[in-house]
Amino acid sequence: MAMVDRYKKSGGFIQLLQVIETCGLKKREQLMKIIAEETPLWADAINNKMLTFKKIISWKPEALLEITAQVNFLALCTAFKSLSVDELNELLEKVGSQEKRRIENQMKDLNPAPNEVSSCIVKVLNETRILLSSGALKADKIDSNLIIPEDFESSLDSKGAVSKKSNINEDIKSHISNASSDSNVSNGVNSLEVDSLRKKIVELTQQLQNLKKDNAIMLDKLDKIKKIA
């Protein structure tokens, strides 16, 4: 079973995102490597929609002020200790003089250990994800890439089926083209090679038909889910 199979349910994509966002860097790289090998479409979607601390501090002033108001302030200021002087100054300029003083007053007495900083970054990511999922933070006003539509899991699977179908079509065309090319060069190919090519084309055609059936089943399931919702 592929790792993402357990998350191919309504809301499963966000659950997987939270797992990826809140694990350590080394573990995250290992998980993403597995996902990329098994289901490249899911890996691309995760990379596109995943929260990082660098991404959060790059947001517009209005979004940052929402974060400082709603996320655990001590954890947030501790996480700010991971920033360079230039990054911190750029951030403070965006939030305004009043919020700047509040952050600086909180940070001046902080001397966290590296593991405490890492833990606070994870806490900020987790709380920010919750704010986005609940609608307290409006993804469409921050970054359109953060929007996760309903039934996103089904749409990813449908795209995957279409991609496989396209690859098989190309494979069939390639075999036919190669056979034709060989025929033009040598005025005929070995009968064994012809039989082999014919068998391969039959196999690929059968795979294509199976994918069409699977795609129809997934579309039917998607319709049923939409009707229940």
- What are the sequence ranges of the domains in the chain? 3-49, 53-146, 152-228
- Per-residue model confidence (pLDDT) at position 8: 83
Q: In a 3-state reduction of DSSP, which class is residue 109? A: coil
Pick the CATH number of 53-146 from 2.30.29, 1.10.220, 1.10.3470, 3.30.1380: 1.10.220
Q: Which two tokens stand for residue 199?
A: 């068998």
Q: How far apart are CA 206 and CA 49, in angstroms?
A: 36
Residue 95 near residue 57 (C-beta atoms within 8 A): no
Residue 44 near residue 112 (C-beta atoms within 8 A): no
List, for the chain, all residue ranges whose pLDDT scores fall below the cut of 70.
1, 158-196, 202, 205, 208-229
- Per-residue model confidence (pLDDT) at position 161: 47
Mean model confidence pLDDT for the chain: 81
- Per-residue model confidence (pLDDT) at position 65: 95
Residue 124 near residue 76 (C-beta atoms within 8 A): yes
pTM: 0.66
Give me the torsion for CA of 117, 118, 124, 128, rounded to 10°.
Answer: 160
Give me the torsion for CA of 100, 102, 106, 108, rounded to 10°.
Answer: 50
- pLDDT tens-digit map of 89-125: 999 999 999 999 999 999 998 999 999 999 999 999 9
- Per-residue model confidence (pLDDT) at position 220: 62
